[in-house]
Amino acid sequence: MIGVAVGYILGTRAGAEGYEELVKAVRTITSSGELKELAVGAAGLLGDVLKGGTSALGQGTEPALRRIA
């Protein structure tokens, strides 16, 4: 997102031609298979991290709750 914002600012300073080049580049990047594969891999990794984190969280809070009770 930051790269797109910086590119937009630079593109608008370059005029209409620079803006059109920027739009074309963004469309090329967003429609690429590599980006889609990266997004799928990141989603899978995030899912694994969340599954591991929630199970670790559940295990970590149980003994603490027993000590309080």
Amino acid, res. 18: G
- pLDDT of the residue at 10: 72
Q: Which residue has the tokens 């990794």?
A: 45
Q: How far apart are CA 23 and CA 14, in angstroms?
A: 13
- pLDDT of the residue at 66: 55
- 40 and 67 share a domain? yes
**Cα dihedral 43, 37, 25, 8 in deg (nearest 10):** 10
Q: How far apart are CA 45 and CA 41, in angstroms?
A: 6
- 43 and 65 share a domain? yes
DSSP for 38-62, please give it.
HHHHHHHHHHHHHHHHHHHHHHHHH
Report field, pTM of the whole predicted structure over 0.85: no
Model confidence pLDDT, tens digit, residues 21-49: 878 888 888 888 888 888 888 898 888 88
Per cent of the chain over pLDDT 90 is 0
- pLDDT of the residue at 50: 82
- 38 and 67 share a domain? yes
- pLDDT of the residue at 24: 87
More confident call, 11 vs 42: 42
- 39 and 15 share a domain? no
Range of the domain at 26: 1-31
